[in-house]
Structure 1
């Protein structure tokens, strides 16, 4: 490449230092804020004198295309000559291409295929501060390549923030070069949403304020394409201003229109793509919604998705800085001033919050299934990473040890989420590439209705941008797989992606379904799917507080299709369970769904025993026959546990059920049904819990009855604490010392001749001296035929009068 006169942008001043660092060290970190020219000028400078190709990795397709276009324009060439790009579904390169801009995910695939990166002399990892998952993985793989295969491969990481210490350490204590940009003052204003005002309405209102206060173009940040469309509609009456959307789902022509200045004032409504990856010229005012759409697990689709979150302070500053690139400007923040202090400092790295099965598949293909030995900016979190690896084994993408199978390698090559890759590969073989591609493209984008077949018909016949985008993706996916003509069976493709979401109606006429994974879900009213027994569910939600989930997108299926799509979930087993009694049956299941069952007349005794134990855990010891003797023994043992503790064991329901396998044997092993439990001699069984040798003192420590002065033996009530002895007062004359059990004084309920409590005491001597005279006076009047001596100490105790 011939010498090039580069524009006078801030990064130009550090190019000699950067070239020297790369030559001496082989790696470097360039810290440069947006607008300094790092994305376009640095690759051009690296290419001068380089023997091989310079590859620039961008986190987004839109940024990759724009960077290539800008560099080609500086060279006065069309894209595809010296500078080209490769993104999913679009590639413009030639034999003359020296600089190729690619997306991070695409470069991961390229490194997997050719780890030595033949013909590449340097890789520039752009916008590393955004911490996209593909970018973090790519960095780890390239460091591994450089350590083991290509020590001559130069790596340059760029970041718009100064938090570069960890990045430099990863690159082997790489030199950090900083480019400073000339910036202009940016005034800040805060405009809180009005009451009940939607986000896009707030942005549209503040855009009008910005247009009235600041000359030049307005750049407004919104979370996604939906909000952009609604805000655009609210600004449609601006006759002297062009309102232009800017996001990744637009056609190339419409994206380019937003990046080129026009003859009139413009309002560019953009997603996060315009924070640092792209430069929008002419901007003097920035309106920031304060929200961003970031990767999260989309539980509705069971696939990676996007969630709307508050921006970080670093992102808010980057957005505001867009207003001061070319002249003084103003930033309008659509949140109260006091909320600024509680914004997180930086965005959360995607690897910490994303679904990680695709990352796990790439690592399996790299022969490092657990990621060990790689240098990570942040290591994959253990829980989500383990879940991702489990899914790969379920899909047949990896072996039990975690190594990639041939099938897994083929799935990874498609560049899709493993669920969708499995659906495309197996679906193409079963129903044909076209049908498989159509369904996979729908699942990837998400549907707006409940019926998959209805959604497909709508997309095939519609002419809106979403349908056109879907048809382009279908065409791309169809070329990736082979297969026969097959049949148009969308449900099979859905089931291949989500076998655990195959669902069967619970009862005729019901809208409730049980999914193979065990989750219950309902069809919403008016879904058009209520007449089918089986569904292949693509999307489902579970709202807090609701018993069942809601099916959002599904296709009609049947049992034959379900078994065909999910053979690994089909099992036949003898089940002996407790359902009010022992139920023994041979059951054929698809996951949690019962396909067929028949009774078993001679079930495995061990399984019967476990079922009976389950019944005891579910219904408690009331399943047993508690005779009076058994009940009183339990009460005495419970008292000793409370009074003494070990070795006397607890006797509450939970404790008895927990040890049922010990004290109910061998009777439990011989039992076959609920009725057999009632036949167990519970008192004899309970004695198996007596501790020895302490058990020899049971009657001494907790006697069933106590002898009173009259000679009667009265039962002690151990159901209360402390225990109670209810005895007629006349039988206790002369009894001075309160009786004790296990060192605990009993409470004496002294009864009248009619058996009613006349006094309650745990101190007999005190009662005789202080309480008895009043009790005697009352009882003498009520029971005159009975003896009521004045001196209870000398009186003879009697059972009768």
Structure 2
């Protein structure tokens, strides 16, 4: 055939030669060069049977339609396609376009890919999870069963070196697009302004300032719907949505140039895989919706993130295909430099339960036997395998079970596969299929309530045709009891048992899920009267501790018990709670408390541990401390500092660690907080080393006799022991006393006759010589009735005045 004069045409022969000669190759070609359509046709013309793997269903259909049109045929003849639930091909088909996920399933069923000569991995730079897995499986198949299988990876970016290495030092070919200059304009949001109004302003500017159609990039169907509403007054322009959940006719309409000017509101599907004709202006919201997992909170799903610089450049390039164009970027110009260079590969950030099941089916549960562009994170993969074990898809050794293979064959996420299989047995295949079809298609409803969404779909609301086709496909794959109305919530709970949730308090819009994560209902939700919820979809915005419920069904405790028996547990809980010992038999569903009954005869050992927990939480002050017991503790602490072993440490941590030595037997008989008011000093004496206990008063005397005969109490509260004594009472002492077998001098706090501090010294001889003269000079006039001898070392000590010695 005569190929159109597109930029990829000059390298078609090189691509064919590279594949027939080397077996693998990489083609780098920007969007619009014709790589998706001309390359497979050229390979087929060379006698090869080709399968093209596309990352999205919309691109799959569009690529097949474009190639069939070039051949002057209908889709399903020499060019066909297959997506989940739909296939158009026959025995004469030589080029088949499929989604990456579907080709993974086909490869699992037939690792040799019989009848296929070349697999084209289109747009591999987008790094979708299914595409990365498909590449790893194809490399493994080439290594063993099909060394003759050709693999061509195409990319819109120049970052092709890594995939070329994976493909065995594959030759890298380049096709260069003929593009026109694209001017960049920034439409910055006003303070606090949402995405949709900014985009709407930019669209109106593009329509007034540029010719041709306007292609708008938005993160999802919800934003597309809201922007469409804000453009309702544009009577002379066709506003068309473009995303993967639309009916085929609407998708096709957006991909054809019309008689009037068009504003095409698209998701990321229009970045590279599709060509939207007639575009001279691009409006870029700067946002994309990507898979994310919050493993700590048990939330996974789609998150809205800023695009990378590479994606922003790719989106802008759509404006320069047919002539000079302009891109309106809906963020401040100074923020552009802060964008990440490239998008994060989905395998690094997504929930990996489905990937874990595919790896188990391939025979390498941890994926270690495969060659990866980026290997799956071990933690996320292990979490996925744990979910699969709970679903019965894996055995204890990590191998796939028959049930697991059946779940994989359904082409659903394993949780939804479980809901379909078990739901069919419980409520009937039809009803289970209806619920699962809704849960599997996040574009079907903007409602929070599963029941009302299903009612609308059953009545013929928007999306009904697509939903009914999915229901028909799913129900044909299962058998079960006849349909039972009113059990929709059970199917939701079977898919996400960890997301069963109970209201936190009367009138509250916050619920606690069985996983332990808090979620909130949005304002105005019709589910606010429900005590229990079966949550299907919940996500969390950055900076918020609680998730937000996007889709849920009303539930009750009976349903929760029925749907999640594996999460039910009953245990005796004896712990320190709210300032006292609580001993209760508690039944829970995951993190949700169902019943609590007091224990009449709790285990004494566990009560003792709870009391120790209380002491750790609220300190040893729970015991009864009088002055004598506090001083005993200080004296023990001093001896430990001064002499070490065998004298025990007396800080909180050490005393708590040794509680079983000094708090027995009192602790073993205690049952509650009040029982801890035991005499601390009496108990503390059990820590005295038996060999040294008799020397306590000798080594750390409670009182020291001074020259007047007074017995003054030693202060052990500071690091150094201190003796507060009136100066006149130590006349005649030449040196300060020493304790702890003479190892530690007592610091003298010398007081005035009125008991006020006059001097502090640990070297009394030095004080008499150097400090005393100054103290004498300052105080003798203030206290003339008290003796102030010139030489206190030979003076008689006294407690009183000159008249009373």
Both structures adopt the same fold (TM-score exceeding 0.5): yes
Look up the match of 2:318. Answer: 322
Give distance in 2, aligned partners of 1:224 and 1:506.
32
Q: Secondary structure at the match of 2:249?
A: helix
Q: Does 1:76 align with 2:72?
A: yes
Give distance in 1, aligned partners of 2:335 and 2:694.
73
How big is the shift at 1:283? 2.2
Moved more, 338-347 or 675-684: 675-684
Q: CA RMSD in A?
A: 3.3
Look up the match of 1:292. Answer: 288
Give distance in 1, aligned partners of 2:166 and 2:222.
38
Give distance in 2, aligned partners of 1:300 and 1:622.
36
**Alpha carbons 1:438, 1:474 under 8 Å: kept:** yes
Q: Secondary structure at the match of 1:120?
A: coil
> Given the alignment, which residue of 108, 113, 116 partners 2:109?
113
Query: Structure 1 627/301 Cα, relative in aligned 2: closer, same or farther at 3 Å?
Result: closer
**Alpha carbons 1:34, 1:160 under 8 Å: kept:** yes
Q: Secondary structure at the match of 2:780?
A: helix
**Alpha carbons 1:301, 1:540 under 8 Å: kept:** no
Q: Does 1:29 align with 2:26?
A: yes
Query: Structure 1 253/183 Cα, relative in aligned 2: closer, same or farther at 3 Å?
Result: same
**Where does 1:615-764 land on structure 2 (aligned, <5 Å)?**
615-639=614-638, 651-661=650-660, 664=663, 668=667, 671-674=670-673, 677-679=676-678, 683-685=682-684, 688=687, 702-739=700-737, 746-752=746-752, 755-757=755-757, 759-762=759-762, 764=764
Give distance in 2, aligned partners of 1:167 and 1:433.
43
Look up the match of 1:536. Answer: 534
Query: Structure 1 525/126 Cα, relative in aligned 2: closer, same or farther at 3 Å?
Result: closer
> Given the alignment, which residue of 304, 310, 322 partners 1:308?
304
Give distance in 2, aligned partners of 1:627 and 1:198.
64
Q: Does 1:8 align with 2:5?
A: yes
How big is the shift at 1:540? 4.8
Give distance in 2, aligned partners of 1:49 and 1:686.
96
Deviations 1:526-566 (A, max 9, x none): 65555554433334566788786665644333333222211
Query: Structure 1 443/657 Cα, relative in aligned 2: closer, same or farther at 3 Å?
Result: farther
> Given the alignment, which residue of 548, 566, 573 partners 1:568?
566
Query: Structure 1 583/237 Cα, relative in aligned 2: closer, same or farther at 3 Å?
Result: closer
**Where does 1:514-553 land on structure 2 (aligned, <5 Å)?**
514-520=512-518, 527-529=525-527, 532-540=530-538, 553=551
**Alpha carbons 1:85, 1:102 under 8 Å: kept:** yes
Query: Structure 1 239/528 Cα, relative in aligned 2: closer, same or farther at 3 Å?
Result: closer
**Where does 1:324-363 land on structure 2 (aligned, <5 Å)?**
324-363=320-359
**Alpha carbons 2:661, 2:686 under 8 Å: kept:** no
Q: Does 1:413 align with 2:399?
A: no
> Given the alignment, which residue of 168, 181, 185 partners 2:181?
185
Q: Secondary structure at the match of 2:314?
A: helix
How big is the shift at 1:334? 2.9
Query: Structure 1 410/704 Cα, relative in aligned 2: closer, same or farther at 3 Å?
Result: farther
Give distance in 2, aligned partners of 1:504 and 1:328.
57
Look up the match of 1:123. Answer: 119
Deviations 1:591-613 (A, max 9, x none): 23344454444444432332222
Look up the match of 1:273. Answer: 269
Give distance in 2, aligned partners of 1:159 and 1:520.
42
How big is the shift at 1:124? 0.6
Q: Secondary structure at the match of 1:370?
A: coil
Deviations 1:480-524 (A, max 9, x none): 322111423122122212222333456666666543333455666
Give distance in 2, aligned partners of 1:798 and 1:442.
98
**Alpha carbons 2:503, 2:509 under 8 Å: kept:** yes
**Where does 1:165-204 land on structure 2 (aligned, <5 Å)?**
165-204=161-200
Q: Secondary structure at the match of 2:781?
A: helix
Query: Structure 1 132/532 Cα, relative in aligned 2: closer, same or farther at 3 Å?
Result: closer
Query: Structure 1 211/648 Cα, relative in aligned 2: closer, same or farther at 3 Å?
Result: farther
Query: Structure 1 507/726 Cα, relative in aligned 2: closer, same or farther at 3 Å?
Result: same
Q: Secondary structure at the match of 2:403?
A: helix
How big is the shift at 1:216? 2.7
Look up the match of 2:783. Answer: 779
Query: Structure 1 194/536 Cα, relative in aligned 2: closer, same or farther at 3 Å?
Result: closer
Deviations 1:639-661 (A, max 9, x none): 45667889876533344334535
Q: Secondary structure at the match of 1:437?
A: helix
Give distance in 2, aligned partners of 1:406 and 1:300.
31
Give distance in 1, aligned partners of 2:435 and 2:295.
19
Give distance in 1, aligned partners of 2:339 and 2:648.
55
Query: Structure 1 173/551 Cα, relative in aligned 2: closer, same or farther at 3 Å?
Result: closer
Query: Structure 1 280/151 Cα, relative in aligned 2: closer, same or farther at 3 Å?
Result: same
Query: Structure 1 650/351 Cα, relative in aligned 2: closer, same or farther at 3 Å?
Result: farther
Query: Structure 1 302/310 Cα, relative in aligned 2: closer, same or farther at 3 Å?
Result: same
Look up the match of 2:795. Answer: 795
**Alpha carbons 2:420, 2:491 under 8 Å: kept:** yes
Give distance in 1, aligned partners of 2:473 and 2:435.
13
Structure 1 unaligned residues grouped into runs of 5+: none
**Where does 1:476-487 land on structure 2 (aligned, <5 Å)?**
476-487=473-484
**Alpha carbons 2:292, 2:351 under 8 Å: kept:** yes
Give distance in 2, aligned partners of 1:547 and 1:315.
30
Query: Structure 1 117/573 Cα, relative in aligned 2: closer, same or farther at 3 Å?
Result: same
Give distance in 1, aligned partners of 2:78 and 2:300.
36
Give distance in 2, aligned partners of 1:88 and 1:288.
30
Query: Structure 1 512/21 Cα, relative in aligned 2: closer, same or farther at 3 Å?
Result: closer
Query: Structure 1 633/457 Cα, relative in aligned 2: closer, same or farther at 3 Å?
Result: same
How big is the shift at 1:791? 3.8
Give distance in 1, aligned partners of 2:688 and 2:362.
58
Q: How many residues align?
A: 791
Q: Secondary structure at the match of 1:500?
A: helix
Q: Secondary structure at the match of 2:629?
A: helix
**Alpha carbons 2:391, 2:415 under 8 Å: kept:** yes
Please give the TM-score of this superposition, normalised by the length of structure 1: 0.90
Q: Secondary structure at the match of 1:144?
A: helix
Give distance in 2, aligned partners of 1:90 and 1:412.
18
Moved more, 59-68 or 440-449: 440-449
Give distance in 2, aligned partners of 1:473 and 1:203.
33
**Alpha carbons 1:627, 1:683 under 8 Å: kept:** no
Look up the match of 1:577. Answer: 575
**Alpha carbons 1:397, 1:405 under 8 Å: kept:** yes
Give distance in 2, aligned partners of 1:338 and 1:414.
48
> Given the alignment, which residue of 427, 431, 438 partners 2:427?
431
Give distance in 2, aligned partners of 1:558 and 1:235.
43
Query: Structure 1 196/581 Cα, relative in aligned 2: closer, same or farther at 3 Å?
Result: closer
> Given the alignment, which residue of 351, 360, 368 partners 2:364?
368
Give distance in 2, aligned partners of 1:392 and 1:316.
37
Look up the match of 2:41. Answer: 44
Look up the match of 2:137. Answer: 141
**Alpha carbons 2:758, 2:775 under 8 Å: kept:** no
Moved more, 602-611 or 353-362: 602-611
**Alpha carbons 2:503, 2:511 under 8 Å: kept:** yes
Look up the match of 2:471. Answer: 474
Give distance in 1, aligned partners of 2:257 and 2:83.
25
Moved more, 256-265 or 758-767: 758-767
Look up the match of 2:489. Answer: 491
Look up the match of 1:591. Answer: 590
**Alpha carbons 1:300, 1:539 under 8 Å: kept:** no
